[in-house]
Amino acid sequence: MYSWGSIAVMETNRRKLLQLLAGAPLLAALPTPAFATSSTGDQLLIASAADDAQGNHWLIAMNEMGEERLRHPLPDRAHHVAAHPNRPLLAVVARRPGYYIDLVASDTGELVRRIEPQEGRHFYGHAIFTPDGQGLLATEMDVASGQGRVTLRSLDQAGAPSKDMSSGGIGPHELLLAPDQRTLIVANGGILTDGRDKLNIETMQPSLAYIDLESGEITEQRFLAEQDHQLSIRHMDVNALGEVIIALQYQGDLDDDKALVALHRRGQQIKLLRAPDAVNREMTQYCGSARFDNSGRIAAVSAPRGNLITFWDMETDSFLTSMRATDGCGLAATSEDASFIASTGRGNCYALYPLEDYREAMMLPPGLSSLAWDNHMAIKALTS
Amino acid sequence: MNRSKQTGLIPVITGAGAMFLLSGVLHSQIATANDVDWSSYNRETIEQDILPAYARFAEQTEALQSTTAALCSAADAEHLQQAQDAFIAAQNAWQGISAVQFGPVQFLMRNYSIQYWPDRKSIGRRQLQSTLQMPADTQFDQEFFHQASVSIKGFPALEQLLFSEDALDKLNREGVDCRLTAAIATNVNEMAQGIYSDWQSSSEEMLSQESSSDDDEESSSDVPELSVNLMKSLVEPIELIRDTKLLAVLGRGAEATYPHRAESWLSEQSLANIRTNLDAAHALYTGESAGLDQMLRAQGHGEIADQIEADFAQLNKELEPLGDSLVAALETHYDELKTLTASLRKLDESLNSAMQVLGVQLGFNSRDGD
């Protein structure tokens, strides 16, 4: 059962609405000071790391109107942003090899705490808050052994992590919490790195690991078939049924034409999902980010090098459609079914409605449209 | 069971779409008017740089096709020399437009097929060796190239066939060598003709798409996608030249170089390629009336325009005494090559300053990823 029925074209005429709005003189005349609070209050907070044209790195947050709400300077390029489940708090994680995670108050812009890895460790670009909001889980590399780790830190206590578990492989990247709220899902990319150099492309063994958060034990681990071992498992999302959609990155020959998306259901093998040939080629062997929509039935997988966002149907385990977004990587689901927001390295943000084949550019002020949005986006509903 | 996320992060908010629209209306009023004439820039750049460069590439590959065909009918030193000369001219023409990595050159992976490089794992060499073992009656037709590895469809494979020390012996032996050489040349020519004619037939459409204002494809910034792609073709290759064409070869010191990582090292054209790349970049930068140089000056950024011109001139000056072969220069001019990489960095910085003042976000490098 899905929260919406069949895949049918939804009848919304946004173009017409746009024309109506554009014709409204009162609205058109309204000024938009950058930090004004709209009378109804913000409904969404959209957060992402970004670089500006000068090469500075920022954590940026804006509301659904494209009004800037936060601009926090970062010491180095960042990757993932996580939103706290019940506090106005964001965690922004340094790009791998990463040496900071900043906890930033999204309402005041204050840097609450900068977490640094322990000696001999670095972060791998992703972290998530625990469901109770008390802790932060992060993927790390133990440099000496080359092995992946997942650590748990209390938000309120500095110092060593309270838990330090094996990730089950090399190069752990994105991590998620399963719907049971006690199982961690970790994408072990499989690539041994020195800085950003890749050392083991010929022998890499990516995997998807399910780890019991309490005991640290791996309860299920899935590898790809031998001929697909160079498909790095790095980014993914999980829906309420526990289905995991995976965005793959191929490390093998440029000639090869491998499936670049995969799906996993507990107890089964990882299932590769292939786009139609022309689309698969266009994806250029590289997917950057994966997110389910609000219903959990449609998955969006970005292919930034191919300038495409692809969409997949979990009911039929198959490709639905694709939409163009130049250098588009960051993805987030809106509260509407079959609707996403995508961000790009060229400063654009789009609302995407794949079932209607409709893309709407968020009109951002120059201060935001001149940014290169980094790979991942977080979206948080504000209840005020 | 419902698939909805249980995180509670995204409760139902109606009208999110309408909010975006509203924001669009509001922001369009305050967006700073950018008086840069991007459509003239696009038109001028395509008509005066892109189309002529592809025309030249198509012309040179046609000559390459005919000289390799002639070589196969009489594989002697004179015909080999002619084929080598034609190869160098065609490769040079490619280097004059290889910076453009969008549009028709992407169709059917033509960009990779024309020149599969860098090839750290020597895939091209291995693929070529196994192809050369094929039976003497193998047909190198369209079907063959459809199936073949991209690594043997273009210049790197041709270079090995035409420039290895025993090329003439091999071309004369009872094998597929000569027919394969001619077939690859034909294939390169077909790709070049295809790209040129695709650009001719689609450029008007590309240009008109960019000027239509009521378009969902319109980006939120003021700079049209086509302009960004053109400027990316100017800026991005500078870093590639520095990192991949030079620093990767220069290694960790004069005693620890990697000569065989050099592009076109067999035909001894590595530095000639770079010279051509920079000439092409300079041409992309300067226009007749609507180029970036004019734009910068019109916007009051003459100092950046002057700096860019000075950077290009400096690179020209530094490249001049180094000859065409990077492998040879590694031995005799290592320090000068290091200096060259520093000058490339400077040009890269100047071009990025130009992008900044023009309000252009080029985005991440196309090789960026994590």
Q: What pLDDT does A370 receive?
A: 86
Q: Do B193 and B229 fall into the same domain?
A: no
Residue type, B88: I
Q: Do B268 and B357 fall into the same domain?
A: yes
Quote ipTM for the complex. 0.71
Q: What pLDDT does A366 receive?
A: 83
Q: Do B275 and B181 fall into the same domain?
A: no
Q: Is the pLDDT of residue A23 over 60?
A: no
- Are the Cβ atoms of B26 and A379 closer than 8 angstroms? no
Contacts A179 to B, Cβ<8 Å: 6
Q: What pLDDT does B34 receive?
A: 55
Give the fold, CATH level 3, of A45-381.
Methylamine Dehydrogenase; Chain H (2.130.10)
- Residue B94: count other Cβ atoms within 10 Å of its Cβ: 24
* Neighbour order of strands in the sheet with A308-313: A289-292, A298-303, A308-313, A318-324
Closest in B3, B364, B369 to A296, CB measured: B3
Q: Do B300 and B366 fall into the same domain?
A: yes
CB distance from A359 to chain B under 8 Å?
A: yes
Q: Do B184 and B47 fall into the same domain?
A: yes
Measure CA A206 to chain center. 19
Cis peptide before A206 (omega within 30 of 0): no
Task: Suggest the residue from B239, B364, B365, B366 to mutate for an interface test with chain A (most A CBs closer than 10 A).
Answer: B364
CB distance from B130 to chain A under 8 Å?
A: no
Predicted confidence (pLDDT) per residue in A152-208, tens digit: 999 988 889 999 999 999 999 999 999 999 999 999 999 999 888 899 999 999 999
Q: Is the pLDDT of residue A126 over 80?
A: yes
Q: Where are the beta strands (DSSP E) in A147-267?
A: 148-154, 163-166, 172-177, 183-188, 193-194, 197-198, 207-212, 218-223, 231-238, 244-250, 261-264
Residue B18 included in any domain: no
Residue B15 included in any domain: no
Q: Do B162 and B240 fall into the same domain?
A: no
Burial class from Cβ neighbours inside 10 Å (0-12, 13-18, 19+) for residue A29 reads: exposed
Work out how many CB contacts closer than 8 A connect A with B: 219
- Are the Cβ atoms of B4 and A27 closer than 8 angstroms? no
CB distance from A265 to chain B under 8 Å?
A: no
- Are the Cβ atoms of B220 and A369 closer than 8 angstroms? yes
Q: Which of B181, B198, B215 is the last residue of a domain?
A: B198
Q: Do B168 and B284 fall into the same domain?
A: no
CB distance from A146 to chain B under 8 Å?
A: no
Task: Give the distance from residue B365's alpha carbon to the nearest chain A alpha carbon, in angstroms.
Answer: 9
From residue A153, how far is each of A127, A160, A173, A176, B4 by CA, in Å?
A: 11, 7, 17, 16, 28
CB distance from B218 to chain A under 8 Å?
A: yes
CB distance from A64 to chain B under 8 Å?
A: yes
Task: Suggest the residue from A346, A376, A377 to mutate for an interface test with chain B (most B CBs closer than 10 A).
Answer: A346
Contacts A125 to B, Cβ<8 Å: 370
Q: Do B192 and B306 fall into the same domain?
A: no
Q: Is B278 helix (H, G, I), strand (E, B) or coil?
A: helix
Q: Is the pLDDT of residue A364 over 90?
A: no
Contacts B27 to A, Cβ<8 Å: 32, 66, 363-365
Contacts B359 to A, Cβ<8 Å: 366, 370
Residue of chain A nearest B224, judged by CA positions: A346
Task: Give the distance from residue B81's alpha carbon to the nearest chain A alpha carbon, in angstroms.
Answer: 32
CB distance from A339 to chain B under 8 Å?
A: yes
Domain count, chain B: 2
Q: Please give the Cα distance from A161 to A139 (Å, whole number).
A: 12
Q: Please give the Cα distance from A51 to A78 (Å, whole number).
A: 9
> Which residue has better confidence, A15 or B55?
B55
Contacts B356 to A, Cβ<8 Å: 53-54
- Are the Cβ atoms of B369 and A243 closer than 8 angstroms? no
Residue B13 included in any domain: no
Q: What pLDDT does A187 receive?
A: 98
Residue B73 included in any domain: yes
Closest in A17, A366, A372 to B18, CB measured: A17
| Structure-block tokens of residue A77 | 């390029």
Q: Please give the Cα distance from A375 to A327 (Å, whole number).
A: 10
Q: What pLDDT does B221 receive?
A: 63
CB distance from B11 to chain A under 8 Å?
A: yes
CB distance from A377 to chain B under 8 Å?
A: no
Q: Is A87 helix (H, G, I), strand (E, B) or coil?
A: coil
For the entire predicted model, the pTM comes to 0.82
Contacts A339 to B, Cβ<8 Å: 16-17
Residue B340 included in any domain: yes
- Are the Cβ atoms of B355 and A53 closer than 8 angstroms? yes
Residue B364 included in any domain: yes
Q: What pLDDT does A65 receive?
A: 86
Predicted confidence (pLDDT) per residue in A69-89, tens digit: 999 999 999 999 999 999 999
Half-sphere exposure of B177 (CA within 13 A, CB side): 19
Q: Is the pLDDT of residue A96 over 60?
A: yes
Digits of tens for pLDDT over chain B (370 positions)? 455 443 322 333 334 444 444 444 333 332 333 578 999 999 999 999 999 999 999 999 999 999 999 999 999 999 999 999 999 999 999 999 999 999 999 888 899 999 999 988 888 999 999 999 999 899 999 999 999 999 999 999 999 999 999 999 999 988 899 999 999 999 999 999 999 999 999 999 999 876 544 444 445 567 888 999 999 999 999 999 999 999 999 998 999 999 999 999 999 999 999 999 999 999 999 989 999 999 999 999 999 999 999 999 999 999 999 999 999 999 999 999 999 999 999 999 999 999 989 988 888 877 788 8
- Are the Cβ atoms of B26 and A351 closer than 8 angstroms? no
Q: What pLDDT does A157 receive?
A: 85
Q: What pLDDT does A253 receive?
A: 85
B44 is in which domain, residue-wise? 40-198
- Are the Cβ atoms of A240 and B21 closer than 8 angstroms? no
Q: Do B308 and B186 fall into the same domain?
A: no
Residue B29 included in any domain: no
Taking each helix axis as running N to C, give the angle between helix B177-211 and helix B38-45, from 0 to 180 degrees, rounded to the nearest 10.
160
CATH of the domain at B89: 1.20.1420.20
- Are the Cβ atoms of B16 and A64 closer than 8 angstroms? yes
Closest in B216, B220, B225 to A326, CB measured: B225
Q: Is the pLDDT of residue A28 over 50?
A: no
Q: Do B61 and B98 fall into the same domain?
A: yes
Q: What pLDDT does B215 receive?
A: 42
- What residues contact B121, with CB distance under 8 A and at least 6 apart? A253
Yes or no: say if A324 and A304 are a contact pair by the CB < 8 Å rule.
Answer: no
> Per-residue pLDDT averaged across A107-134, rounded?
96
Contacts B8 to A, Cβ<8 Å: 85
